[in-house]
Amino acid sequence: MKRRTFIEKSTATTLGALIAPRFFNSKKISPLKGNIQPLVVCTWSFDKASAAALKALNDGKTSLEAAVEGVAIEENNPYNTTVGLGGAPDREGTVSLDACVMNHLGNCGAVLAVENIKNVAALAQAVMEKTPHVILTGNGAKNFALEQGFVAENLLTEESKLNWEKWLKTANYQPVINIENHDTIGMLCRDKDGNIEGACTTSGLAYKMKGRVGDSPIIGSGLFIDNQIGGAVATGMGEEVLKTVGSFLIVELMRQGKTPQEACEEAVARILEKNPGKPNFQVAYLAMNKQGTVGAYSIHSGFTYMHAQEENKIIKADAAF
């Protein structure tokens, strides 16, 4: 054998040896068979959102259409202070919203720090479908929204304004754990063809610095889907989810054979390893695999999620503390 051929061969073998174990560790993916029942899961107790998304799936809409319609229920709800209209403002009194979507082909779209537009998940979908980009931010995102026919409006409700003014008296920034038992809405839908798609939308942490963006609109952190494996969404202290790329991590752990529950627990464990003791912040994960098995786990107890199939149920997740 010529020396050059030998080097090429041995390189190929070495590379093969390095790469192969990953493939062998991956769970064998078997295609779904039989009658697939549409399924919706979403963070927190947003029962109207999950019901609307399930109805959309049962009406034959795609998983993405269902997710965007479902989360819009909360984006339009002025009494929800963590999403869309009525969302708590930043410390300067401005409501700025973040959202992302991901479809079963692995395409995604996101908008960051958008003002005056409440349906930011639909806007993220428009970024994915109508632009050559994945992310638009701030004024660029807002101008694109206006071009697309979204309506600009004041998102700071009288109640949110009063709460912010009260907050200004101490201006103590301490995100609350399980705020009012609702928060960012992250939703995963699986349609009758078994395709998983989802959306994540939030006003972010109350009284954040102007310009702050958390995990929710960042693909891989607030939301990630691999249609062969499953999907995951996050809620809680976005900085900690970002540092561990939580949703991507969960999908990759499921790829390696972990159940959605085990994968969510491992992703929480990664955060706890970096924050010894009992952290004073909350992070919660929700995951669904291709077979429709669902798992959820949080740092502190109190995290609930919706599971909508035959019934639209609120389920309390297990927690580390």
Considering the candidates 43, 81, 82, 184, report the single residue annotated as catalytic.
Answer: 184
- The nearer residue to ligand ASP, 116 or 282, going by C-beta atoms, is 282
* 101 strand-pairing partners: 109, 199
Q: Is 140 exposed, middle or buried (0-12, 13-18, 19+ CB in 10 A)?
A: middle
- The nearer residue to ligand ASP, 183 or 252, going by C-beta atoms, is 183
* Residue found by looking up tokens 């269902």 in the block: 66
Q: Is 13 a catalytic residue?
A: no
Q: Which residues bind ligand ASP (CB under 6 A)?
A: 183-184, 202, 204-205, 214-216, 235-236, 238
For residues 171 and 166, what is the distance between their CA atoms, to the nearest angstrom? Answer: 9
Residue 238 Cβ, how far from ligand ASP at the closest point, in Å?
2
- The nearer residue to ligand ASP, 38 or 214, going by C-beta atoms, is 214
Closest among 228, 182, 220 to 202, alpha carbons compared: 182
For residues 51 and 55, what is the distance between their CA atoms, to the nearest angstrom? Answer: 6
Residue 90 Cβ, how far from ligand ASP at the closest point, in Å?
11
Distance of CA 278 to the CA centre of its chain: 24
If you write DSSP's letter for every residue of 251-299 in order, what string do you get?
Answer: HHHHHTT--HHHHHHHHHHHHHHHS-S--SS-EEEEEEETT--EEEEES
For residues 15 and 169, what is the distance between their CA atoms, to the nearest angstrom? Answer: 61
* Residue whose Cβ sits closest to ligand ASP: 238
Residue 233 Cβ, how far from ligand ASP at the closest point, in Å?
10
- The nearer residue to ligand ASP, 38 or 246, going by C-beta atoms, is 246
3-class DSSP state of 41: strand
For the chain, first and last CA: distance in Å?
Answer: 63
- The nearer residue to ligand ASP, 90 or 191, going by C-beta atoms, is 90
Q: Which two tokens stand for residue 315?
A: 């389920």
Residue 236 Cβ, how far from ligand ASP at the closest point, in Å?
5
- The nearer residue to ligand ASP, 57 or 156, going by C-beta atoms, is 156
Residue 95 Cβ, how far from ligand ASP at the closest point, in Å?
13
Residue 179 Cβ, how far from ligand ASP at the closest point, in Å?
7
Q: Catalogue the E-assigned strands of 153-210.
A: 185-190, 196-202
Active site residues: 184
